[in-house]
Amino acid sequence: MLRFWQSTGLRIDREAVLARGMRLTKLEHAALVVEDSGHKLYIDPGSYTTPITESSGAVAVVITHEHPDHWTPEHLSRIVEANPGVRIFGPAGVAAAAGDFPVETVAAGDEVEVGPFRLRFFGGTHAVIHPSIPIIDNVGVLVNDSLYFAGDSFTVPDVEVDVLAVHANAPWMKISEAMDYVVAIAPKRAFPTHEMLLSRAGKSTANLRLKWATEQGGGEYLPLEPGDAIDF
């Protein structure tokens, strides 16, 4: 059973939650942190994400592509300093952009195991923003055959998805495309990501549309805000 913990007004026993399985906490914009057995996996800590100062226990960072709203040297430096053995994964474009860090290059079809996390990668390229803007490398990641985030793309994995992080807003998409994407995947649960450029009204509208799309496949939509968490 999945539980939805809001960041305000609710006290929880952290160790008891972690003992039951994975816990996902949504950070700002596209950033997520997944915890399992006391180990942490960070995904896409970028320029719209509050500085990460409590990263002890991090064993891996996945960066889906090189755009600064998905990674910054400052975030990586803090995580690496607190966790010298942490492994960083990203496509070739990330490895080139983050040359000061030991990025391990991954591509669609690759699988990696690090700590308690099994990472499977999908896709290959960023969605088209405009013909004038070069298309860059991008990978989606499936964590422990359960949580999927496609980076900046609508790549549909050829597997069942338990929990889907779905874009609520981006320069390369419109909400109807995100809705079609959710319907195509038919996740058991979905929550919004990549929404820091939206107003409160914009978030509410996106949540309404994405909720409808999730329910078409019998799934549950969770309108997570930064700091909210689910365990599964």
Structure tokens at 92: 């070739």
Contact in structure between 198 and 206 (CB atoms under 8 Å):
yes
In this prediction the pTM is 0.91
pLDDT per position as a tens digit, 16-47: 434 448 999 999 999 999 999 999 999 999 99
**pLDDT digits 0-9 by tens, 198-227:** 999 999 999 999 999 999 999 999 999 999
First to last CA, the chain: 6
Contacts of 145 (CB under 8 A, 6+ apart): 118, 120, 159, 162
What is the DSSP code string of 173-207?
Answer: --HHHHHHHHHHH--SEEEEES-TTS-HHHHHHHH
Q: Which of 20, 94, 25 is nearest to 54 (CA)?
A: 25
The whole-angstrom separation of Cα 174 and Cα 189 is: 21
CB 24 within 8 A of CB 231: yes
What the chain holds in terms of domains, given with CATH numbers, is 3-218 (3.60.15.10)
CB-based contact 34:22 (threshold 8 Å): yes
The secondary structure of residue 215, as a DSSP letter, is: H
Cβ-contact 20, 2 below 8 angstroms: no
Q: Tens of pLDDT along the chain (232 residues)?
A: 444 555 433 333 444 434 448 999 999 999 999 999 999 999 999 999 999 999 999 999 999 999 999 999 999 999 999 999 999 999 999 999 999 999 999 999 999 999 999 999 999 999 999 999 999 999 999 999 999 999 999 999 999 999 999 999 999 999 999 999 999 999 999 999 999 999 999 999 999 999 999 999 999 999 999 999 999 8
Q: In what order do the strands lie in the sheet with 3-5?
A: 3-5, 229-231, 23-26, 32-36, 39-43, 58-62, 87-90, 103-105
